[in-house]
Structure 1
Amino acid sequence: MDLFSRSWSALLAAVADLSDEDFARPSGCTGWLVRDLVCHLVIDAQDVLITLATPTAEEPTRDAVTYWRVVEPPTGDDPLDALIVRLAAAYEQPGLLAFHLDDVGSAAGRAAALADPTSRVGTQDQVLTAGDYLSAYVLEWSLHHLDLVAHLPEAAAPPAAGLRYARELLEGVVGTAFPASFTDRDALLIGTGRRAPTATQTAALGELADRLPFPVG
């Protein structure tokens, strides 16, 4: 719960610090500019609010690790991805998009802070405790924070504790650990296919290199 709040707050602060020009720069998400990524974060925040407002008495079917699945690598052809690009462009002024994210994002953060971690919520036809659901999102926030700053070297990095936990989640999803020589950032970027490993890193990966990447969704 605490890592959710810290990771989300850091991501919102990083977006708030962007200049208008930064919104037109590429992000770490294939085919998306920074403005497209920020628009996606608005939808993410809405999802958090909707899920926390969808209580259920059913038994949990997923936890923070099994919430995620390894999916097909993104191609840019997904209809929702295309919708996000059009929606982001419709804002016209970056400040309007940033304001919308701050507005709905702050509400999502408050809802998360007030949530009972033992309560159960429903999302995507699955049931989780609120604590597991919010913990799962540390992976989402950490990856997208890395995406946000991929081409913005002066921007603030994600919290180290969030990156460490996000790595643990990713390793749980794929069922194996990345080499100890990998930083948490490297493990997340290389593991999800956002960056190719160097020759030295490929050697350290061993047979795991043949299984890369592990895009999650």
Structure 2
Amino acid sequence: MDLFSRSLSDLLDTVAGLSDDDFARPSGCADWLVRDLVCHFVIDAQDVLITLVTLTADAVTHDSVTYWEVTREPADDPLAALTVRLAAAYGEPWMLKHHVDDVGGAALRAAQIADPRLKVSTRDMVLAVADYLGAYVWEWTLHHLDLVAHLPGARRPHADALARCREVLELLAGAFPAAWRDEDVLLVGTGRRAPTERERAELGDRPLPFVLV
């Protein structure tokens, strides 16, 4: 749960430091500008707030790792086009900044006071609160990398968050070369960039990319 707070705080601080021009730059998410990705953060934060109050007595079905699913094909997200239109509707970057800070800050506070032993329901899954928030470390950290993909000098995800996300990816998809940096494992392993010739040779016959949805 502490890593959830750290990864979300780092993400919100990075968004707060963006210039107006940064919002019109491409992100690491295909076909999305930075403004579209920031708008997606609003939706994610709302999801956290909704899920934390969707308590259940049902048996746990998933944990922070099995929450995610590995596929070889990009996920078809029906909200992707809506997110782009919604982001454009904000008009001025400061409006979107304000909203993501407002809703993201609320999600952060809600997580800090949540009882980790309770169970919540989301996406036809039941998780302990601690595992649900743990799953979102992946979401915040990978999208933090997407946010700064074309913003040299911008704040990057915390090393602990990167290490945890690598652990999740390797639990689901197998180990990567130990000498690789955590960030490179995540970028290559999720198809965010193609492996170099050297990396491809080190991977051997491993199929790529892995996309977690």
Mapped to 2, the partners of 1:61 and 1:106 lie a distance apart of: 29
- CA distance in 2: counterparts of 1:154 and 1:97, whole angstroms: 22
- Quote how far apart the aligned CAs of 1:203 are: 1.1
Report the 3-state secondary structure (helix = DSSP H, G, I; strand = E; otherwise coil) of the residue aligned with 2:205.
helix
Cα deviation per residue 1:109-153 (whole Å; 9 max; x = unaligned)?
001111111110000111000000000111111100000000001
Matched, 1:148 2:142: no
Q: Do 1:30 and 1:74's aligned partners in 2 also have CA atoms closer than 8 Å?
A: no
Query: How many pairs were matched up?
Result: 213
SS at match of 1:203: helix
What is the distance in 2 between the residues matched to 1:10 and 1:72?
30
Residues 92-111 of structure 1 aligned to structure 2 (within 5 Å): 92-111=91-110
TM-score computed with the length of structure 2 as normaliser = 0.97
1:112 and 1:133 map into 2 onto residues whose CA distance is 10
Residue number in structure 2 paired with 1:47: 47
CA distance in 2, matches of 1:98, 1:200: 40
Determine helix, strand or coil for the equivalent of 1:8: helix
The share of aligned pairs that are identical, in percent, is 64
Q: What letter is aligned with 2:205?
A: E
Structure 2 residue runs without a partner (length 5+): none
Question: Cα 1:78–1:137, aligned 2, differ >3 Å: closer, same or farther?
Answer: closer
Match in the other structure for 1:68:
68
Partner of 1:134: 133
Contact 2:72 2:209 in 1 (8 A): no
Q: In structure 2, what is the Cα distance between the partners aligned to 1:196 and 1:93?
A: 34
State the partner residue of 1:200: 198
Residue 78 of structure 1 deviates from its aligned partner by 4.2
CA distance in 2, matches of 1:27, 1:6: 22
Amino acid in structure 2 at the alignment position of 1:128: L
Q: Which of 185, 209, 214 lines up with 2:210 in the alignment?
A: 214
SS at match of 1:207: coil
**Structure 2: how far apart are the matches of 1:74 and 1:52?**
28
Letter paired with 2:42: V
Task: Provide TM-score, normalisation by structure 1.
Answer: 0.95
Matches of 1:166 and 1:113, distance apart in 2: 21
Runs of 4+ in 1 over 6 A off after TM superposition: none
Give the counterpart letter for 1:56 in structure 2.
Answer: T
Displacement after TM superposition at 1:173 (Å):
2.0
- C-alpha separation in 1, matches of 2:71 and 2:23: 27
Report the 3-state secondary structure (helix = DSSP H, G, I; strand = E; otherwise coil) of the residue aligned with 2:204.
Answer: helix
2:22 is matched with 22
State the AA in 1 paired with 2:197.
A
